[in-house]
């Protein structure tokens, strides 16, 4: 799969196929999002989908989970205190 390809019909979650599957065994359930960060449209769509359930709530603080979450937390917009 071309990690930089963007489908013409971008349906919700289309970017999941870019993520590498679990290779650590059945007791681990995760997808490696590293390849997602190479595709700016995939990352933007992922962030939009993550934020969609919070569209009416102001976001003051985002905490990224260690390992892969700290990259995603930087992509989320936060309003500046002021």
Per the DSSP assignment, residues forming a β-bridge with 20 are 32
DSSP three-state, residue 47: helix
- Give the pLDDT confidence of 59-79 residue by residue, as tens digits: 777 766 666 666 666 676 655
**Do the Cβ atoms of 51 and 73 come closer than 8 Å?**
no
pTM over 0.75: no
pLDDT at 80 over 60: no
Average pLDDT for 5-28: 83
- Cα–Cα nearest to 71, from 37, 25, 29: 37
Domain boundaries along the sequence of the chain: 14-75
Give the pLDDT confidence of 17-40 residue by residue, as tens digits: 888 776 777 777 777 788 888 898
């Amino acid at each position: 799969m071309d990690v930089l390809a963007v489908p013409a019909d971008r349906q919700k979650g289309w970017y999941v196929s870019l993520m590498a599957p679990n290779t650590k065994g059945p007791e681990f359930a995760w997808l490696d999002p590293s390849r997602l960060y190479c595709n700016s449209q995939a990352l933007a769509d992922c962030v939009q989908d993550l934020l969609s359930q919070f569209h009416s709530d102001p976001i003051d603080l985002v905490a990224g989970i260690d390992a892969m979450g700290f990259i995603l937390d930087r992509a989320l917009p936060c309003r500046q205190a002021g």
